[in-house]
Structure 1
Amino acid sequence: MKKYTYLIALLAVLGACTKDKISSKGDDPYKEQVKPAIYINKDGISPARARVGEEVLISGKGFLANKDKLAILFNGVSAPILALTDTTARVKVPAQAATGNVAAQVDQQYFFGPFFRVTGVFEMDTLFPSKVAANGGISDIIPVEDGKYLVVGDFTDFDNSGKEGKLNRVARINHDGKVDGSFGPDKKNGTNTFVATAAALPGADRRYLVAGAFNNYEGVNFVNSIALLNNNGSLAADKIFSPTGKEITVSSLKGGISGQVANMHVQADGRILLTGFFRFYVQPNYNLTGAAGQDSVHLDSVQINGLVRLMPDGSLDSTYNYDLAKHMGKEGPNGYINRSILLPDGKLLIAGTFTKYNGQAVNRIARLNADGSIDPSFSAGAGPDQNILNMTRQADGKLIIVGRFNTFGGLKLANVARINENGVVDPTFNVGAGSNGYLFNAHVMPGGEVIVSGIFTEFSGLVRNNMIVLTDKGAIHPSYNTIGGVTLDQNANSGGITQILPQVGEKSLLVVGTFTKFDYRDANRFVRITYP
């Protein structure tokens, strides 16, 4: 009986509480709505595009009533207010404004308005055919003969060529950005998976090398992560006969890599340096038969640990960081090489996740002699406290280093640093607070300006999507940052921009990557930027 008495009492209390909350008149407690302090009309900005310093008129409601607490923001940057009425605000496009949304701020409340395009001197070329371009990521672009370009990546078509499935991850582009129809035979072409990098070879035959993570080119098997191409895009191949007399098509290169090549460098003597995420050099042996007498292929392998040098014919160069007694590569790096740069004197800079090279502490960056041994004259001291993701070399030999680190050489440097040729930090380059995310790439413009990109939404207090242009001292460039940024495709995992190539003799840059929008315009992974 006590149990039921308690339940009745509890229901009575709950009922009393409910009565207190509901009006006896039946009024809806949610009917009354708080009106916003500011309202900006849907298309309430005129003109809809302007340069920094030009005046625009914003229309809406509540401007004058909130004049003492009002700020008008262009992509997060406060604009000078010139005149107000209750329904209009005349403002000047502020310095460091970029393409994006306009908003009004009253105290800590934000009222978002229409999209506004900030125009400037550093602009996407809208006449360049960016809207179609590649149907997958582009990882590299190199200049080749006759003003053309070779692009590689993870696409299966370019420029809606009509050759889908025949331009698998390798294509040649004319100077105007259109696909070169003479490249890629009308049959299955290219690789079965990702291509990371490319190189043009000297000589009258104008052949190319491509490297990445594939094991097949043009349907030919045992093309392991590196392929030699003829000028028309076909695989440079030989015909051999198996033990049973069957004719087989094989790559002209004698061997390759089991794993992923990230960087490739062709030396003046034709030898090929490869770095990346691999442990074995492999060479197919076609002269074998199985127990039943059938043809059999075996991959002979040699351990080489993240870097290797090949002879021009693809055979292993055992004079480069190699232990002849053990018939294997020396210890090399104890982690990944994300980026390598071949220097004019034949030495190689490597950077990545490693902390040792051949057993010696090097703190994620090192310089190697021409034989692959460590160069002790280069020392970054404590180096970065976390991994280096990329680096680029300036004309004066200094290096811009980017990644996800907080300090470099004991100095507080957020994700980007510049070091001298000997590895010592250059304190004259400092970006301040830097990015709120990862930096994956850095590129130096012909005038010395530095473009850094990655995955971030803010850089030193400015709202920016994944890209920013810096001066040669690391400050945010005062006139090259009206572009709102880049938008990554859904499969991007390494930042929106992978390569920036200055066009020789032109005030323009070709930009490739994994983005699908550039400055909020449709741009499938390939754009051209012009500047004064």
Structure 2
Amino acid sequence: MIRARVSPWIDYGGNFTDYEAYQVIFKILLVVILPALNVIPAAAAPGDVDPDFRMPRFSKSGPAYLGLGSLAIAPQDKIYLGGSFLGVDGVDLPRLARLNGDGSLDRTFIPYEGFRTWAERFTVIRGGRLHVAFGGGIPLGRKKEEVLPVGTLIRLRWDGTREPIPGGDFRAPPAYASLLDPGENLYEKVTAENLFPTANVASLSKVQVQQDGRILVRSSAYGPQPEPTWNAILRFHPDGSEDEGFKPVTGQGSRGGFILCPDGAILYMHYKAGDKSGVLRRVGPDGRGDTRLAGPIRATSSIALQEDGKILLCAVVNGDGHVTQTDIALCRLNPDGSEDVTFPKRSLRRSLCGVALQADGKILLYGSKAIGTGRSEPVIYRLLNDPPQDELDILKGRISWLRGGAAPAVTQAIFELSTDGGANWRCLPQPMRKQEGWVLDGVELGEEGIVRAQGQTTAGNSYGLVSQEKRFSF
């Protein structure tokens, strides 16, 4: 008896290729050819393509339609997608859709009126509702009688209908999609000067709120004119005053970004002028202790962080920083930055370099695929991964959300309680991050009810939400 590893939708060079054709070939291989040769497929391993995930069919938006630019995971194993498509699986859904966990279209989500421009930032908030920020063009409903200003941020309910934001919709840079707590309210908004009145901060390209309420931002320019510091990561207190104990992180170039780690450390991409790829670095919670990770490995700006500290990134395999169509590879690093040799590298096309983690640790890759000269189409694939740890433990006076393994890293969490079967929820006091996960001590829960834990995750330019519920009776 022979055991062989087989993986669908990968060509002989390890590149992702045509989904539909290889799906047929893969089934024939498993059902007909391998049994005839007395070959048993070996067990699937991390890094293999998940055969249970189906890629949806996207309707094009023009003769040179592009791809997917935004993705965020949501409770109930859902996936929000934003891109240049006009429809999914035959349903009219301009530029915004939600998938089920297996890749099929979630037909219960019908986005408000449709849009004429890309959703550049998603933030999934409490209850799975969605904030969408637009960075260019004019979002315009299909009815055409309402024109939303450029940069408008709107809120959608779970079914896709529009929900009014307290104080009204507002115009803001795409970064402001992340200026949300997990509850109902927005922080200060509209302009950097209004948000941070004491600081010389220019336009913001990314914002993330820490569990303690302090705000990390990436600014294109910082400091006094006419010679400001360019492209810096800064931190501010909730009142907008600058955190003087945080050392600004500089040298990111025009494409830099960052990811906040559960322990407060910050991963970021360091670019030199003219580079299309950067070097992965890490600083401590105070902005100090700058350390280069991954040795000579250079990477694009797409990074995903697991709860066990391992880092998924799209790396430039030739190491010289010059990105070509076939140089990109998905790889996984250990927490110290060394390459995780247990995870196989997967060669990617340059335009397929968005990476995110689902709640069960499976890896989503998204972007576009070339289909001819000057033409491309949206694509999304899923890879298998190591098992996650995601357990909610409830004792009298204590709630523990135990997280680890390949589960997506949670940087901000809330606990909620329902005593009427889930009809209504109230927020409990803020949990604390500890080594094993999120813990709340000294809490009064009553005799029975349901506890819900929700946590914010980061994927590229958007923020997702993972959720775990458990009934209790003492």
TM-score of the two chains, using structure 1 as the length reference: 0.47
CA separation of 1:141 and 1:202: change in aligned 2, threshold 3 A? closer
**How many Å separate the matches in 1 of 2:20 and 2:230?**
53
Q: Which amino acid aligns with 2:284?
A: N
**How many Å separate the matches in 2 of 1:500 and 1:307?**
18
**How many Å separate the matches in 2 of 1:312 and 1:97?**
43
**Is 1:388 aligned to 2:275, yes or no?**
no
Match of 1:264 among 190, 207, 220: 207
CA separation of 1:120 and 1:390: change in aligned 2, threshold 3 A? closer
Q: Tell me by how many angstroms 1:207 deviates.
A: 2.6
Judge conservation of contact 2:115–2:139 (CA < 8 Å) in 1: yes
Judge conservation of contact 1:265–1:273 (CA < 8 Å) in 2: yes
Match of 1:523 in 2: none
Q: Tell me by how many angstroms 1:178 deviates.
A: 1.3
CA separation of 1:134 and 1:505: change in aligned 2, threshold 3 A? farther
Q: What CA deviation, in whole Å up to 9, does each residue of 1:341-378 have, x standing for no partner?
A: 112222111125249xxxxxx961111012212344x6
**How many Å separate the matches in 1 of 2:320 and 2:357?**
20
Paired residues for 1:35-434 under 5 Å: 74-75=20-21, 79=25, 80=28, 121-130=102-111, 132-145=113-126, 147-154=128-135, 156-157=138-139, 163-165=146-148, 168-183=151-166, 185=168, 189-191=170-172, 194-195=174-175, 197-201=177-181, 206-208=185-187, 217=190, 223-224=191-192, 228=195, 253-255=197-199, 257-259=201-203, 261-275=204-218, 278-281=220-223, 303=229, 305-321=231-247, 332-333=250-251, 335-336=253-254, 338-354=256-272, 364-376=279-291, 379-384=293-298, 387-402=299-314, 404-406=316-318, 414-432=328-346, 434=347
CA separation of 1:180 and 1:374: change in aligned 2, threshold 3 A? same
Q: Tell me by how many angstroms 1:429 deviates.
A: 1.7
CA separation of 1:426 and 1:408: change in aligned 2, threshold 3 A? farther
CA separation of 1:202 and 1:464: change in aligned 2, threshold 3 A? closer
Q: What CA deviation, in whole Å up to 9, does each residue of 1:444-489 have, x standing for no partner?
A: 011111001223349xxxx98432111117xxxxxxxxxxxxxxxx
**How many Å separate the matches in 1 of 2:57 and 2:254?**
38
Judge conservation of contact 1:336–1:354 (CA < 8 Å) in 2: no
Q: Which has the higher contact order (CA 8 A, sep 6+)?
A: 2
Q: Secondary structure at the match of 2:159?
A: coil
Higher-Rg structure is 1
Segments of 5+ residues of structure 1 without an aligned counterpart are 1-72, 83-93, 102-115, 211-216, 218-222, 229-251, 283-298, 322-328, 356-361, 474-496, 507-532
Q: Which amino acid aligns with 2:121?
A: D
Q: Secondary structure at the match of 2:202?
A: strand
Q: Tell me by how many angstroms 1:96 deviates.
A: 8.9
Q: What CA deviation, in whole Å up to 9, does each residue of 1:210-263 have, x standing for no partner?
A: 6xxxxxx3xxxxx23x765xxxxxxxxxxxxxxxxxxxxxxx74445224x232
Judge conservation of contact 2:179–2:208 (CA < 8 Å) in 1: yes
Q: Secondary structure at the match of 1:466?
A: strand
Judge conservation of contact 1:339–1:391 (CA < 8 Å) in 2: no
Q: Tell me by how many angstroms 1:132 deviates.
A: 3.7
Q: Secondary structure at the match of 2:259?
A: strand
**How many Å separate the matches in 2 of 1:464 and 1:135?**
17
TM-score of the two chains, using structure 2 as the length reference: 0.53
Q: What CA deviation, in whole Å up to 9, does each residue of 1:361-412 have, x standing for no partner?
A: x961111012212344x6321122xx42210111222111125544599xx9
**How many Å separate the matches in 2 of 1:136 and 1:178?**
18
**How many Å separate the matches in 1 of 2:308 and 2:55?**
31
CA separation of 1:138 and 1:267: change in aligned 2, threshold 3 A? same
Q: Secondary structure at the match of 1:306?
A: strand
Q: Which amino acid aligns with 1:310?
A: F
